[in-house]
Amino acid sequence: MPKVEYQDWGILPYAEAWEKQGVIQQSLIANKRANRNREAEGEELKPQLHQLIFCTHPHVYTLGKSGSEDHLLISPEDREKHQVEYYKINRGGDITYHGPGQIVGYPIFDLDEFFTDVHKYVRFLEEAIIRLLGNHGITGTRIEGFTGVWIEPEKPEYPKRKICAIGVHLSRWVTLHGFALNVNSDLDFFKHIVPCGINDADKTVTSMAAELGTQLDETKLKLELKDIFAALFEFDFVDNMQ
């Protein structure tokens, strides 16, 4: 089974997390290339040490490579006033928000050791979140044509509510970026963007706290979610991890 190291980076500025992800991704790619040479020389291969990283970012908007800057609705002056950063990044998808009360997950996996199917990988990310939500009495679902995890409305006239955004980038089948689950998020920050580029009147955003009417323990949720990932992706955590 693949070996994965779990890390909780705590609260970390977005740019620093993005840089650290890139270093880890390039390390996995370099080891994969080196293993090909080792194999050709009949040498012992060095195992890949995949990473499952959770963290929280200070307020930030990020725009994916397929997104439109028109979906950022707040001026630079107001961003500065509200202390919100903004980055154009290399993941798929459009614009989203990260901030306090949100669990951001960065699985950095060499999919050559799992499965080489991008669509399946995204569906697995969604499934992990759906399982976590189900453990807490929230029925998460998918909507055809829209990535991420949603809550179906109780009545047809109510909007569908997005609770988790997903955007990834792969290089040599090594993943980067991941998901953002709204747990105790301040949803007002989504009013300054067109979330994920979806400008439909029947779609909005939500959080676990909004759905349940109470705040949740994010630390406990992270530990629960990491075990869901291990079961779903069928990997083992390295021995020194809890």
Q: Which of 52, 104, 196, 221 is catalytic?
A: 196
Question: What is the C-alpha to C-alpha distance for residues 217 and 108, in angstroms, rounded to an integer?
Answer: 25
Q: Say if residues 223 and 105 touch (Cβ distance below 8 Å).
A: no
Higher pLDDT, residue 196 or 30: 30
Q: Say if residues 61 and 86 touch (Cβ distance below 8 Å).
A: yes
pLDDT recorded at residue 199: 85
Q: Which residues pair with 85 in a beta bridge?
A: 60
- 0.85 surpassed by pTM: yes
**Burial class of residue 74 (count of CB atoms within 10 Å of its CB; 0-12, 13-18, 19+):** middle
**E-strand stretches of the chain:** 3-11, 49-56, 60-63, 85-88, 95-98, 102-108, 140-143, 146-151, 160-171, 174-182, 203-205, 236-237
pLDDT recorded at residue 242: 40
Domains and CATH numbers, the chain: 3-237 (3.30.930.10)
pLDDT tens, 83-141? Answer: 999 999 989 889 999 999 999 999 999 999 999 999 999 999 999 999 999 999 999 99
pLDDT tens, 157-211? Answer: 899 999 999 999 999 999 999 999 999 999 999 999 998 888 888 999 999 999 9
Of 91, 61, 65, 58, the residue nearest 74 (C-alpha): 61
Q: Say if residues 166 and 122 touch (Cβ distance below 8 Å).
A: yes
pLDDT recorded at residue 241: 43
Question: What is the C-alpha to C-alpha distance for residues 137 and 187, in angstroms, rounded to an integer?
Answer: 21
Cα 190 to chain centroid, rounded: 17
Q: Which two tokens stand for residue 108?
A: 């950095």
Active site residue 196: yes
DSSP code string of 7-59: EEEEE--HHHHHHHHHHHHHHHHHHHHHHHHHHHTTPPPPPPEEEEEEEE-SS
